[in-house]
Structure formats: C-alpha cells, structure tokens
Structure 1
C-alpha cells in the first residue's frame, strides 16, 4: 500500500488529438484506459476515448495490431443502434491507438444492482429486452459479441442499456455464408459449454472443431438474465468442476439449487431454453422473442423498446441498493498476498485475468490483466457536493470502543450533524444504501430530469467517515485480512506521508467467489463538508465483475460499520 501516485500514463498520450481530454481515467481494460473528451473550444458533446497501449498489448503477446483493427472494423460495421455504444472515430500514433465512442452517461448497469438480490421482474425484463435487441441487431449484421457479461453492459443518461467492448467480436456470417469460430474466449461464468468442452489437440486456446458464435451469445444472454433476477451467476463455469452446473445437466435443467427456486416458472422456462447444453437445441433469437415472458407487458418499456420512466426506474433501483448492518460479512473473495510495494508474491496461484479461468486451461484473451506496476492510479473522482462553512466538528463521546490503543468515538448519524451538513449529505445518493428504512428522499425525484439525476454514473461503492486516517487505514487493512485478502502493513513513514497528503490508496488483487480476477483500489481521501474535514472511502474497480466488486464493498463495510457515517 502506498500513497496514490500522481496521474500518469505508461507512455505519453497523443498530442494531436481532434478533441480535448477533460477527465482522468473513468474506465480501464488492461492496456487500455478510457477518458472523457469534448471538441476543441466547446463544452459538449462529451464523448469517451479508449486509449490502447500498443507496446503493452504486443509485449503481453495476446493482442496484435490486426486484432485491434478488427475490433475497430467490426464496431464501425455495426453503425448506430439504440442499445449499442456508437463508435465515432479512431486514430493512432506510434504508441497508442485511440477509439472515440459515445459516452455511457449512466455508468455501469450492474454497479447499480444489489449483489445476491438482483432486481424485480419488470426491471430485469426491460434490460433483458434491450440486450436482446442489441444482440439481434448485431447478429443481423453478421457479428457475434462473444463476451456478453455485466462488465460490458452500460447505461445511457436516461437509463437505457448500451452494449460495449467489441474486443472479442467476430464475423460469423459474410455474404450469406456462415462460418464457425475456433478461439477459446469469454468469461467462464458466462461462456457457453461447447467452447469449454471442445477438443484442443494442437493449441490450448484453439478448438479442433469450431462453434457457432451467435448461438453462444444466446447462452451468455441467458446467464445475464439469471444474474439480473437473483444477483448471482448460476455456476462458476459450465463444466463438471462446478457442482451447480453438474446438477443442472444431470437434472435436465430441473435443478433444486436455491437460486433457481426463487424464479417464477415462466422465467425458468425461458432460461432452460436459452441454456440448453446442446447448441442445436438451444432457443433461437426468434424463440426468445416470442416466449410468453419476453412478450409480457412492462410499465418501464415503451413500444419502441426504450425506458418509459427513467426517473421512476432510477428511484426503484436506488431503493434496492441496501446494506444490512445486522448481517455478518461473507467470505466470498480470496486474495493474493502482496509485499509493501504492492508486488504480488503468489500471483500465479490463480489467474487474475477476468477473461480467463485457472480451471479452464488457457482461455485466449484480447484484454489480459495489466501488471500492477504498470497500472497508473489516475481515476476521476466523483463530483462532490459543494462545501459550506461554519459548522462544528464535535462528535459524541459516549459508547466508545478501543482499537489497538485508539479510541473510536461513536460515529454520529447524519441527524446529529448541523442542519446545513445534513441537507448537503442528504443529496448524496450513496448515503441511501446505509439507511435501514428503504426509500429515496423526495428531493431526489422532485428535481430530477433524467435517470442519472437520481442514480448517478459514478460507483455507489463509497462511504464517508468522520474518523482520521490513522484509524481508518488499520481498520480497513484488518477488514481485508478478515475477508482473506492479504494487504501489506503501512510503515510509520508511509502513514506520515499519507496524513500529510490526506490521501492513501490500498491496492487489492483477489479472486472473487467464482475464481475470477477482481482488482482495484480502496482509496481514502480527505473530503470537506461545510468547512469540516471528513474522509471519503472509495472502492475503485480496475477489472472484474461489477456485482462481485459490489459484494466485496459490502463485506468491507460490514467489517468496519462502526466508522461509516449513516442516515438516521
């Protein structure tokens, strides 16, 4: 763990760009990072620019210049569709390839879904319908996505689904002729079984007999629907190594798994059709779109397939994000030990590439995990509410507990703070997840004009604390150890530097509950509200599944709940 390094890049970004960069990193692949940009001498439109580091991509040996160009060509070939991120342009210099894209102003969809809870049928139906619309359009253009999973599902400012990331896309039909794909690729929880089980006698990442990539997309869409509904995947991977998948196969889809038991029979009927192990028996897109559950009425869905009630939808989704402090944390992640410099001691124990699995030998990947030493920490900070002056920093002194010689004063509820601070913090959407009474303040919805006004694009994985760094840092480190995620101790010199700068970053590198890579930072930064210093603790995901990151955040919060500022 070290103080967060200054904003930097592996190599200098291009200087002759036809736009002006206006943010730090807002998203990250492996050798790629995404920033916001606007036209020169203008404030809009705001677009997203994906910068791909050529040297790093080449050095890893997993991405060639031809593959980068294939992503651009196929994305450009798709043109414009309401549920697909639109490619606006591209360019390159000696070090970088850049791709200009429509900005998904609503952020990540699955960052806004409660882990292990999911969403109601209406919301799941809306987003599943839009996902199928995007995939059906792609398939009509002869393109299969091959990497449909939560990480690649974004939202517009109005809360409509936007499918992204075409790094693994493939042309499966050209001039009316179908072709099979042979590359082993995808994320194990979402990958179709025919890709995993295929014979590989020549190379571990190439199948002897190809698969129909468009039919594999249907399988992945089925898993995404399951995740929307229950907040978890049905299995870790579609092999007999997964007990859940093995039972699903042995029972012909009539599994007694408790997650499946939560689902209504008409949804189970659709899922069984989409998750047929034999691709020849799997539902076609036409069969999906004519299924009774798919054609059901939905108050959130317009006849044209768009979000009919952006503010109502955002309000409902925000009210479902809830952390129950009465429940203990669950140890669903397994970490890598690190030394005090953040280097991995046993990074080979499990594959950290979110597109690869240690259980599935050598899945090919066009976006391997970036080594931690080459990942610059320059993430954009969420906009914070404007501060005011004139409040007292006093705190209650009762109900104190001790931690390693330090006394933890009871963290005040918002109602114990001055009225001006309460008013300001009540406008922070992330505070609602800590309330034990479900609901969203009326002030959110009364002033809202679009989905993102209620449910913002930035991650809800954050909390505010009135306690000092000297207390928060050891508490967070202890929480990580309790969850099985080793983190290095902080030297006195490092602690002194962190307190001087008011900022510290703890790098976390782990495998999630499904043995997939989950990586990012826990960042503690000073925040001033009404002239009084607090600390904002943000959980910044660099790579991995958004729901698993949400689960990790919740577990840490449950471990350190006494220092989290909460609503009354």
Structure 2
C-alpha cells in the first residue's frame, strides 16, 4: 500500500492537525491535534482506514464502534487515556483522545535489566489501579502489555488501546469471553485452551482473571527486563519448567527477582484461574502495600525528577557484549535466527488477534508523512570515517545535550544542563525514543555496515540501499520476528542532521518496546565502530 494511494484525511473535523505521525500501524496512524480556534490543549487523534482495517485486520465497523463505546465507558481514571470524541467519513474513522506526552513506558526500561523495586512498584500500582477501575465498570482489557502502557509528561502511567476490551459484567450478570486474542508472552493459559479457534468452540474464559495474569507478567518484565516465557504452552521450555516445579523454577530470571515479589507473582500467575489471585488479593499483598518514596497517597508520582534520573541512567549499551550469543537457556529462538514473517493469520503471525494488525509482510510498512525512500539515497559529506580535531569538536558540541548519547557512555548520566532546569519527568527523559545513534562515518561505509549487521542477525534486507550523491536520507524497512516469535515491524531511518553527522534512528511500528530495544542494541553493537561515543 503506497502512500500516494491513500485517500486524504478528512477535513470536516472540529480540530486541526499540528504534527506529523507520532504513532502508526498498517491501517491506522496517530497525530497531534488541537481545537480549531486555539493552540491548546494538544491531544491525540487516531485515524483508522476502515477498508484496510476490515480487509487486513478483519476488524469490522461494529468492532470499531465497540472500541469507541468501551473506551468512553472506562474514561475518567488518572491512569487511563481519556476519550474525547469520535467521528467518521466513508473512508476514515477518527478517535480523539488524551495525548500521552511521555511516550512508551517500556522504551525507557533497559532490556534484560529492568528497573528497581521502587520504580516497578510505582508503575505496577498505577496499572492495578487502572485495571481495578475497568473491572469495576465490568470491562476487561484483554491486551495488557508494554505496547499499551504510556506515560504522561509527568511520568505517570496511562493505559491505552481498547480494541480488544470486552464487557464481562452488566447489571450483575457475568459472561465469559471466547475470543482468541492477545500477545503470546502476556496471555493467560486459559485464553489458549478455552477460546474459540477455527471450528472448535471453546468453553470461554473470564476477562478479568486474564487481565490479572497479564499484570503479573508485566510486573515480572518491569523487574527482570524480559518475559518469563515465550507463551504459556508446553512448547516453551521456561513455562514447562514453571509447571513441573510448581512455580519454583530454577530459571535465572526468576532467581534475580526480589524475594518479596515471588509470592505475589506466583499468586497472579497461578495456572488455574479459580485459584488465581483476585485484585483484592493483589491489593492486600505486603509487597503491594509497601511504602514507596516515589509514590504519593493519591497514586501519582511524588518525585518524578529523581525517578526519571534513575530510569535514564539505567539505559546502557555494553559494546563488549556478543549480540549473536543466545543469552537464555531454552529459548526457542533468538534474534540471530529471526526470519521474514510470511504467513500472518493474525497480527503477530501466530494467529493472535490484535488491535492494530499489520499488512502482510509483502506490503511492508506504510509511510504516512513522506514519499517512499526505499531505494535509499544519501549525502556523503565526509571523505572518510576519520574526523579532524576541528570536526570532532563540532560534533561533540552538537551532541553534548542529546539525551540518547548517554547510553553509550561507560557511566551513563543525565547532563548537568538538564538536571539544573528540570521541572518534570519529561525534562529528564524525553518523549522521543532512545533507539538512535549518531555516526561520522562516510555513508558509503555506514550503509553497508548496517545492512550487514541486519544480515548477521537474520533480518532480511531485500537490497542494500544505493548511495547517491546529493541525497540526505534513506530508509531500511524491518519486518521480522523477535526472540519470542512475535512480529516486530519498523524502519531504520538514516538522516544527515549536520555536516558530517548522521542520525540512525530505529522507529518501531509494531511490536514489544523491550524487544525493539533489544533489537536496536544488537544492531548498534555490531555497528560499534561507526557509533559516535561521548568519550571519543
């Protein structure tokens, strides 16, 4: 689906667009907007291409209407994205909602490392508060995962995306769900065993108990920086061991968890939904009720500057690591064996339903704001990969306040210029993604290096972009699967941002934010000779 084939976005709307795309899928994009007669407040508008949603995502007009009604029903909680308004024309459906200015929560968490107990406790508490509110309204989210956990400018959590939400209780009457949906590492076992698949009618499952399982997985990921298993099936070595040992697994990720959280996690991750912790069980657990220096009595961040600083300084790329080694035992697949996704039954290529399923792999990723740059042309402004002392000084001056540079330092830290003036969370951790690096290499060397890194990781590159004098940007598309067999899509954008300096940005379109960061780190380490580092 080419950009030129898209119908223009509707003009007859009560707002005006004030940004390029800030989020996207195969048939949907999100842009910033504001009222027609004002520059404030700024909010987000999700545009859904109805034809492509129906054709490639199998999402009907009724389902889109249900998403709107459910989102409106649960709107009004501090930790849930507020619904504002909706409308449509023959081609587009639009949904105006609160803008989460802080971006993805898990974009700010280091893969395979996680965060400290206090920070994990803050975001887990806010997640439970939001889920509890939804359940009190009779709504189960059914798709709780890092992709749907966003941040405000002050660093507070916001739950988003109600495309898979279901009403499980109405006027005291409860009903089961049977839709097979969610992301494999985060879904509860009963979604697989009790849902309807193909011609097989499942007995159904309780959406609220499914949410509790997913919240437990999220807590695990906050603390460990990784999921405990690829999926809750016998095909996963880690899950099989979890069952065989009565949740007393010897897996290294469980061994590193704080002891106080183990009983909470085991209660939430009880396979039998009848014995699983309820929300009240979670709220009464000693780890949940513990005091927290970052959390105020109203459930909001008390000290966002220090919390953001701690999170920011944990983001680090170790260039001594081997990105081609498989870190975890029993993993079914790692990035060095990723392949092109060619058979997509559902959004993840695994038969799972999603709220923003992508186009088949052959169609690749659509650009919403710019002409196609697949052929890839670059401007070569430097004669070689070496810089003169004067050029080196210019680059250092240009990048000294760039937040993403810190992750390449031996000891990552927040620049003094930011800490002195910081007033809120976003002043320390910017909303823009940290998955980027800068290079002073000549482009005819840089481009093949990146493509070779992708090739070594098993990520297919149809052709190496050509370097053509006079051009200043290019794009490499990424359609592959992560180490858990879930689909990730995105693009590597290479752009000249100053004479002799190129920014290499990894833009995620679809997939788990932690898996995308893990992918970014592996490529960056393989390209380490070209990465500009603060110590150089």
Partner residue, 2:495: 525
Distance 1:73 1:53 in 2: 19
Q: SS state of the match for residue 194, structure 1?
A: helix
342, 348, 351: which one pairs with 1:347? Answer: 342
1:320 matches 2:317: no
Quick one: structure 1 residues 369 and 61, their matched pair in 2 at CA, closer, same or farther if it must change by over 3 Å?
A: closer
Partner residue, 2:279: 285
Quick one: structure 1 residues 424 and 311, their matched pair in 2 at CA, closer, same or farther if it must change by over 3 Å?
A: farther
204, 209, 217: which one pairs with 1:210? Answer: 204
CA contact (8 A) 1:223 1:233 kept: yes
Quick one: structure 1 residues 429 and 105, their matched pair in 2 at CA, closer, same or farther if it must change by over 3 Å?
A: same
Quick one: structure 1 residues 79 and 46, their matched pair in 2 at CA, closer, same or farther if it must change by over 3 Å?
A: same
Partner residue, 1:31: 27
Q: SS state of the match for residue 501, structure 2?
A: strand
Tell me how many residue pairs correspond in the alignment. Answer: 515
505, 514, 518: which one pairs with 1:551? Answer: 518
Quick one: structure 1 residues 291 and 517, their matched pair in 2 at CA, closer, same or farther if it must change by over 3 Å?
A: same
Shift of 1:266: 1.4
Shift of 1:441: 2.0
Quick one: structure 1 residues 268 and 61, their matched pair in 2 at CA, closer, same or farther if it must change by over 3 Å?
A: closer
Distance 1:510 1:60 in 2: 18
Shift of 1:352: 8.4
1:444 matches 2:438: no
Provide, for residues 436-468 of structure 1, a one-character-per-residue CA deviation record: whole Å limited to 9, x for no partner. Answer: 113222221111111111101111000111122
Quick one: structure 1 residues 276 and 109, their matched pair in 2 at CA, closer, same or farther if it must change by over 3 Å?
A: same
CA contact (8 A) 1:107 1:155 kept: yes
Partner residue, 2:160: 164
Partner residue, 1:566: 533
CA contact (8 A) 1:352 1:518 kept: no
Partner residue, 1:539: 506
Partner residue, 1:401: none
Q: What RMSD over aligned residues (CA atoms) do the two structures have, in Å?
A: 2.2
CA contact (8 A) 1:31 1:57 kept: yes
CA contact (8 A) 1:21 1:37 kept: yes
Partner residue, 2:238: 244
The structure whose RCO (Cα within 8 Å, separation 6+) is larger is: 1
Distance 1:6 1:70 in 2: 29
Quick one: structure 1 residues 330 and 412, their matched pair in 2 at CA, closer, same or farther if it must change by over 3 Å?
A: farther
Shifted more, 438-447 versus 134-143: the winner is 438-447
Q: SS state of the match for residue 308, structure 2?
A: helix
CA contact (8 A) 2:435 2:505 kept: yes
CA contact (8 A) 2:57 2:356 kept: no
5+ residue gaps, structure 2, are 326-333, 371-380
Distance 1:206 1:98 in 2: 35
Distance 1:412 1:75 in 2: 56
CA contact (8 A) 1:11 1:95 kept: yes
Q: How does 1:22-171 map to 2 (within 5 A)?
A: 22-60=18-56, 62-171=58-167
Partner residue, 1:512: 482
Quick one: structure 1 residues 6 and 510, their matched pair in 2 at CA, closer, same or farther if it must change by over 3 Å?
A: closer
1:253 matches 2:247: yes
Shift of 1:205: 7.9
Quick one: structure 1 residues 434 and 335, their matched pair in 2 at CA, closer, same or farther if it must change by over 3 Å?
A: same
Partner residue, 1:495: 467
CA contact (8 A) 1:10 1:376 kept: no
TM-score of the pair, normalised by structure 2: 0.92
CA contact (8 A) 1:92 1:98 kept: yes
